[in-house]
Structures are given as structure tokens and as C-alpha cells.
Structure 1
């Protein structure tokens, strides 16, 4: 008998979801609520191929989730709330505690809260989502799927920081890696599309407002650009990415800022937004750069350069490169970023076909490219739904 599973992906002011009939993996309804907590909140959803959109104030995450449940019922996708047996939540940081998805209980919630200091933009919101669903769908089981779990295969030489060893032993300070469900999906999907031999040594580029690159060897993560927190790695929409750590106490002393203010600056006022002074959106920066804005062009140059650096480093980790994958919002839709990233990778044997690239084709490599270059839309929600089924099955 089919089980209805809800996959939830909560952002700082957004909520993405898909309702699946499992194990067939049929999407019964999908949708996204944006700008939660504002007067211009919107709810876009798709049922049986038909898209609908509502624009109205959504006060908070409880109201957002209530709207989803009400729509499921009024659209007759479900006849009763009790039909939903499991809800899977993408959780940003699982720290040293979790390498697998787990059934949510009081201890799990306490640890998600404890780890909020390491993922301040996401863990608190993830916890709000869990608590709202516990209230509104009391019969369903809640399952936590951690962004960091997929990366527990990274070897010590790649995850250790050169700090006093006791910091690792006593406080779990190490590289964790994030965007696990997305990179896991690419690790599963690419071999289905291109075969295992072609995808043995693969780099997955998850490029969105947040971004990370992962080196995948035989489907397992062996390195990833985000670190102890999602702040590390490449330049992102509003996050700084890698910086000299001495910058932090220097800023605190020179500008008389406390650690909270510096953390907020690094997470919310930096990255593409901080460099350009215009926007955290690549599309806005493309337009501004075309019009001659030098800071917009600088932001794009720094962004592309850092992605190229990680690709070079991870090709070393993999001792070669078979497939390069672009995924997530920018990776899937920005032909310009893909073209700019790849134009300096000829030494690796990467060459792309400009016509295929402009068309966002599945394979965009040129005929003489030694490396497969692919554009694969990510599907974090199906990874979440599969994990829920696994956890509920283990509990049975």
C-alpha cells in the first residue's frame, strides 16, 4: 500500500515541499512558499501538472504549513491529515552526532538547537518547521535528514583543521560539508544517466544563493568546500566563503564589533552582495556588469575564480576528473557562469559546446572534451522522502 510522505526543505523565509506516494515516488503535490513573514508572501503549487499561485500575507511558519495542509485537503489530494504518515525535514547541521537520518525526538530537537550556533541561518528555522508539523500533523512521524550526513565519508586528512587536537576531540571542530541531499542525489543520478565508469571521479557543483562543491569518488564524498559551518568555501550570495581567520579579530577590534555582529556580517552582508553593493542575485549582477558596473563585474570574477580553484583542487583529490556536474539554481540556469567557469579548465580536458550550454542541455561538453560536463537538476526532496521511508521501515 502506498505511503504518503511529505518532504520539507525550509529556508530562512521560504518553505519548499513535495508530497510523495511511496514507494512509487509519485509526486502528488509540490510547492513553495516565499517571503514568509511579509505582506508580499506567495504560495506557488502544482497539482496534476497545473500550477496555481496565491499572494497574501503569511505570518510565520505555522501559518505557512497550515496553508499547505489546507490546500492538500481542499484540493482533495488527501482526504484526511492522517494519510500523511511521515514528514522528512532537511536539517542544515548535524555536527558530530548524525551520519544517518533519524526519527525526531526530544534529544534530536535539543541537538538541532545546540548546533544552531554553527548554522544560524538554517538550524533555527529547521527546528521551527519540525515543531510546527508536530503541532499540525500529530499522527505523522518526523524524520530529520542532515545536510552534513552524506559527507561523513570524507577522510581525516581532508576534514581536520590544524588546530589543537583537543578542539576536535572535545568540541567536534572539523570540516563537515553541507548540501548533502543535493550532492547525494547527483552521486546517484549521474551514474544512472552516464554509467558508473564515466562518473567514478566526479565533481558536483551545487551553485545557488548558497553554494558548495563536492569531490565524489565512486559515489562517496571525499571532500567538500563548506566546512565546520556553511559559511566556508566559495563566495555565496550573502556569505563570505573562505577568508583569512585573522580578519575576524581585526574587524572586531578596529570596528568595535562583537562576535554576534561579525557573524551576522559574514553570513548576511558579505559574498556577492558585499562585493557588488548591488545584489546577491547573479542575474542582477550580470545585467549590471553588462552596463559597465565594475563592482558587479568584480563580484562575478571572484565568484568564478573561486569555483575554478576548488575544481582544480578536487581534481587532485580524485587523481583525475571524469564528470563535472552543475546543479541548483545558478548551476542549472546560468549558461554564462558555466561558460566562464569552464573556459579556464582546458588543462583538465574540459571543453563545452556553447550551443548546448545556452540551451541548458543535459550534456554540454564539446565533442573533443575529455571530461563529461553535465547540467543535472537537483532533487533534494526525493532523497529526503527515500530517507523517511527507510527510517520508518527500520522502526516497524
Structure 2
């Protein structure tokens, strides 16, 4: 049976999965934990965590292939029919899934100046994949394609349109792969997707999307994933004048300014200690005021966009929480939904407290907005898209 390797690289972690006949048969998540590097490996229903070296992380493609071989999931690299790689890149060219060829690589190199912190790891991963599996096609899976349906009133910035067109300066949106997986799950779970739906993808990177009849009409991320609500280390929305002022007074060139706004701000910047919601909650419980403020701002931003998107949709039928924070933190879900009863959002606290990383409705009674926790399946969605592109 054909097998597909799915790859999702980030600035601080890497995820790999192997699929056969639409079934995940292997998954590995490489990340930093307690100052070291670990790999969480899932084989069927068995999961284990092991410490890895910096070399394992830097040469993760080789590390993953060795795991697949040692566990007899493949007999050789030729068993892998195709590779799917999540692509986060601004530009019209990247609004579709495409085979990565010389033209694609050239376009990605050109786009690197627009979002180097996201594109550089993608280019490095492509290089490693092509070196290790030179004859295996790689499909670039667009993280923005889902948002192609956004109307001009959501997509355009207040720029002269000749300049916007020349530099392709539009709000592309991201987390589209996750949103598509949620839409598919809703359809399989409750049938047709409700006409007015909001998805809150809350993780280290966070975004909110408004769906009308299952199609994106607006989302919080824009030209790059830096725009929108405050995130773990990303600043989110900020006055352009303030960005100019920061660059002038901190003496930062453009690359260092981008790194600062992406890596030193957000929850980490406000708290001065950590970007991890779990740690912030512990600090808050111990009386740390900066941690409490960081959490309060995060909750406020999410609530504000839920209200804004409910207005844009003309009401709300379904509110979805997904991704690490959305799926796991009943505390944050409770705080976000608090005082939103005027929108028909009323949480059942018992159901909410009992729901961790599982698909469940957590709203109170009938006649209110349905509130659901739905686990995202970005890797599964990418595998599906790869098979469509290759077939």
C-alpha cells in the first residue's frame, strides 16, 4: 500500500507522520522540554517519549527515516510514495497546493524576505528531504488556501491598490489546514456545518476564523502569521507607528525587528517569564501580577474577536475551540466564554471541565449557541491533500 510522509515544521518544533490508506501509522513530535530536546513517538496506540540530541533534531529527516526502518514501517525510502510539507508563505502563488519543483523553490526564495522566520525552516526542510529522498515528490500544502474565499473587505489593507497589487500585500490568513480539518470533522459529526461558525485555533500561534456556510469570510492573521490576537511570543496587532518607533529607538534593523516581534513579545513579553499558558496559570495562582495581566489580555483578545465575528456573521450558531490551548485548557475556555451570554454563549462548566483533548459539546442546554471542543487534525488533512494532488 502507498505510504505518505507528512511534515510540519515550526520555528520551535517539528512534526512527522506516516500515513497508509488514510490511516496514521506513525507520528513523532520533536520539541524542547525542560531545557532539553525530546521526541514523542506514537506507533498505533503506543506512545513513548525519548530524549534526543541536537544532531537528531538538526538532521531530523534522517532520524525519522531510521525510526521508520527500525520499526519495520518501511523497507526502504522507495516505500514512501510522496511527502506533504506545510507551507506558510505570503503570496498569491502559495494559495494552492503544488508539487515543489524548481519554480516553487524560486518563488519560496523570493518570498523569504516577506516572512524569513517561517520560510527559512521550510527551505531547510525541503533541502534535507530532497537530499534524503531525491526521487520522492514533495507537495507544498498551503496553509492559506482555505482563506481564498475571503471577500475584499476582509482581504485588503488600507493601501494604494497599485502598491498592494505590485507587492501582493493582502491578508492571506493561516491555520487554514487546521480549519479545513475542523470543517470536515463537523460535517462527519453533525452533518452540514452550521451557517454561522467561529473557530478559535488557540495554541502557541493563535488565530480565529469566521465561517459562513463553511467558507472563510475573515480571519485574524494577515499578510504573515504575526497579525491578530496576542500569541505565545508574537506581538499580534500593533500600531504601525509603534513598530517604526521601536525600530528607531531599539536600533533594530528589519530582520532583528521581525525576530523581536515574533519571538520576544506576546505572553512572554508581557509576563517577562514564560509563553506557556500552564506556567502562567501557576504563576497567577501564586500572585504574579504580570502573569495575570498576560492571561487577561489573551482572553480579552479572543473574546473581542468572537464578538466582532458574530457581528460580521449576523449571529452565531457554533463556536469551536481547537489546538493545544483550545483543546486542553478548560480554564481558558471558561474565561473566554464568561460574560458572552448576550451572544447566546453559555458554557456548561461540568461538561467543560471534563473535556480535555476530545471532541465534545460543552454548551449549556438547548436553544443556545453550540460550543464544541474539536481536536484539530492538520496532519491527517495534509495527508488527504497529498493523495488528491498525487493521484
1:13 maps onto 2:12 in alignment: yes
The alignment partner of 1:173 has SS state of coil
- In structure 2, what is the Cα distance between the partners aligned to 1:256 and 1:297? 30
* Unmatched runs of 5 consecutive residues or more in structure 1: none
The alignment partner of 1:78 has SS state of coil
The alignment partner of 2:148 has SS state of helix
The alignment partner of 1:222 has SS state of strand
* 2:379 paired residue among 357, 378, 381: 381
Instruction: Give 1:97's aligned residue.
Output: 93
- In structure 2, what is the Cα distance between the partners aligned to 1:3 and 1:227? 36
Instruction: Give 2:131's aligned residue.
Output: 135
Instruction: Give 1:334's aligned residue.
Output: 329
* 1:225 paired residue among 203, 220, 227: 220
Alignment of 1:19-168 (within 5 A): 19-22=18-21, 25-35=22-32, 40-59=36-55, 63-168=59-164
RMSD over equivalenced CA pairs, Å: 1.7
Alignment of 1:343-358 (within 5 A): 343-358=338-353
Judge conservation of contact 2:271–2:293 (CA < 8 Å) in 1. Answer: yes
- In structure 2, what is the Cα distance between the partners aligned to 1:257 and 1:126? 25
* Unmatched runs of 5 consecutive residues or more in structure 2: none
Pick which of 119-128 and 79-88 moved more: 119-128
1:239 maps onto 2:255 in alignment: no
Judge conservation of contact 2:29–2:39 (CA < 8 Å) in 1. Answer: yes
The alignment partner of 2:5 has SS state of strand
- In structure 1, what is the Cα distance between the partners aligned to 2:261 and 2:368? 38
1:304 maps onto 2:318 in alignment: no
Distance 1:278 1:369, change over 3 A: farther
Pick which of 355-364 and 264-273 moved more: 355-364
- In structure 1, what is the Cα distance between the partners aligned to 2:57 and 2:42? 20
Deviation at 1:169, TM superposition (A): 1.2
- In structure 1, what is the Cα distance between the partners aligned to 2:219 and 2:92? 16
- In structure 2, what is the Cα distance between the partners aligned to 1:87 and 1:268? 29
TM-score under structure 1 length normalisation: 0.94
Pick which of 46-55 and 83-92 moved more: 46-55
The alignment partner of 1:76 has SS state of coil
Judge conservation of contact 2:195–2:211 (CA < 8 Å) in 1. Answer: yes
Alignment of 1:150-229 (within 5 A): 150-196=146-192, 199-229=194-224
Judge conservation of contact 2:90–2:114 (CA < 8 Å) in 1. Answer: no
Deviation at 1:385, TM superposition (A): 0.6
